[in-house]
Amino acid sequence: MLNLKKALSVIVVLALSTSMLIGCGKSSGQPAAESTSNAGTNSTAAMSTETGGGVPKDFVELKVLYPGDMSGRMEDFLNNEYKDRLKNDLNMSLEVMYSPWDQYWNKKDMMLAANEQIDWYWDGFSNLSQITSKNQNIPLDDLLKYAPDLLKAIPMENINAAKINGKIMGIPATNAPTSAMLQQVDIRQDLLEAVGMSEIKTTADLKQFGEKVKAKYPDMNAGSHPVISALAREFSDQGLIFITDSFMLCAGQDDNKIYSFYETDAYKKLCEYNRELYLEKLYTDDVTIKYNEGDARMKTGKYIWGEASLGKNLEIIQDVRKNAPDAKLETYLIAPEKPKYRASPSGEVICISPTSANPERTVMYLNWIFKNQDNYLTTIYGVKDKDYKIENNRIKLLTNDSFFYEWMFRNVNYQMFTDDVSDKYIETYKNWDKDSKLSNTFGFVFDSSSVKTEEARIKDVVGKQLVPMSTGFIDSKDNYEKAMKALKTAGIDKYREECQKQFDAFLAGK
């Protein structure tokens, strides 16, 4: 669900930011990953590979590029208990190459360009089309025979939603509620109640909350993120589902039309709203120009809201409480009266790199994680009765150090909640998608290979001219028309028309 961890980071790197939801298209010829990949040149499958059973004869070392920073306990865990488990169960080892969040995507690009071994890596599901067009993944259709347990834990409907040109290009890594993804906000509930408020339903509520907290607690900051998707939800006349990264294109849920988001009225209102918050110092310069660090800011305990999806509060609350012991986080859906759309099978995707030396064994490892709850919990929480324990069907964490991120592999079949999560919240979580609508974009991935030049130019305009307006850093009234001219020159119309053509074909084929 951290597909927006790199959203709007184009302000810094002018290249990579995510939106939320994607779709499926066509490409000419064979996927480039097949023609450029040297994956599997050293791979062995010395086992009963058709079922994934047994322990392979040959020892291999897998390498994963992983975002963030390695905790002390994680380092010890990888070198000892986890190492022993993988050796005994799979006859392999796993080298986890951490890269700080603000460097992760550039690091991935550089390593793959240099043909360095990466067996698997994570990214936001919304970036799958871009990943594929850059030849950074390989088709998995013939490899999934090594993942029978994974296919039981993740519905085939979700797996098929990762198809591009008819081939499965990644594994939607989570199986959890996804409707209204990133259209929510995590709120410091303790401070909300302290200023006499009880809930957040609208953008006006959010602004009022920030103003009241700032007046009562001057040392507190308001938003850790300049929220984008939640604002678009309230300000748009119909549901808008983003289908490219950088918020370039979105699909209307009522009319099946593809829109250039930056040309919509919703975007203009969004800019005005965030500008107001910036001028009132509810958003700081740091927030508006370093969007990618929003989660880190929220964890300091000095911020009162952040952009979220369902379950985000559970991911970060322990870190927030390290700095604000009495903190409570609640997640609120902006404009709750509007429909919730399920537009993506997952917020996360696991890809196997074309530089993988062992694609079969990599899939076997991923299958092992989902083979049973013990493997799953070990990967996410460490060693039972040392790093966590189970009491009354709840997880009690015995260390504050992180392991593999829970949000990256969240799965309703194995998921357990920590002991501080209320029964009411769990009930809401489990039933979140029941009143949702399936988006017209579910399973659609835009193949932008024929408009790659336009896409690159558009992203340049987005990073240099539109992101500063989106976050409120500069006034849209003085800069919008100039940015729109640049967007047109970059080729946004051709880009949108190509997406509309593919989307129409996708809908016709349903």
What is residue 292's predicted lDDT score, i.e. its pLDDT?
65
What are the beta bridge partners of residue 351? 121
Break the chain down into helix, strand, coil percent, rounded to 5: 45, 15, 40
Instruction: Summarize the confidence of residues 200-214 as an average pLDDT.
Output: 97
Whole-number pLDDT of residue 460: 96
pLDDT score, position 291: 63
Strands in 258-260's sheet, in edge-to-edge order, are 240-242, 249-252, 258-260
Predicted confidence (pLDDT) per residue in 352-399, tens digit: 999 999 999 999 999 999 999 999 999 999 999 999 999 999 999 999
Region 159-168: mean pLDDT is 93
- 314 pLDDT more than 80: yes
Place 6 in a pLDDT band, splitting at 50, 70 and 90.
very low
Averaged pLDDT for residues 51-73: 89
Give per-residue pLDDT as tens, 291-306.
667 888 999 999 999 9
Residue 293: its pLDDT value, please?
A: 77
Model pLDDT, residue 9: 39
Average pLDDT (100-120) is 96
pLDDT of the residue at 41: 42
Instruction: Provide the pLDDT confidence category of residue 7 given band limits of 50, 70 and 90.
Output: very low
Q: Where are the domains of the chain?
A: 3-174+345-408, 179-343+416-443+470-510
Q: Quick one: which of 58, 149, 44, 63 has its CA closest to 353?
A: 63
Q: Where are the alpha helices (DSSP H) in 280-413?
A: 285-289, 294-299, 312-323, 359-369, 373-381, 406-409
Alpha helix ranges (H) inside 359-443: 359-369, 373-381, 406-409, 423-430
Q: What is the pLDDT of residue 435?
A: 92
- Worst-scoring range by mean pLDDT, 35-49, 193-207, 276-290? 35-49
Question: Does 214 score more than 90 pLDDT?
Answer: yes
Lowest-pLDDT range of 9-13, 63-67, 326-330, 428-432: 9-13
One fold for 3-174+345-408 and 179-343+416-443+470-510: yes
pLDDT in tens, 330-351: 999 999 999 999 998 998 999 9
Under CATH, which architecture does the 3-174+345-408 domain have? Answer: 3-Layer(aba) Sandwich (3.40)
Lowest mean pLDDT across 79-88, 150-159, 243-252:
243-252
User: What CATH code is assigned to 179-343+416-443+470-510?
Assistant: 3.40.190.10
Question: Mean pLDDT throughout 187-204?
Answer: 96
Q: Is the dihedral of CA 371, 377, 381, 382 positive or negative?
A: negative
Alpha helices (runs of H) in 118-228, residue ranges in sequence order:
128-133, 148-153, 156-160, 189-194, 203-216
pLDDT of residue 27: 31
Q: What is the largest CA-CA distance in the chain?
A: 66
- Partners of 330 in the β-ladder: 187
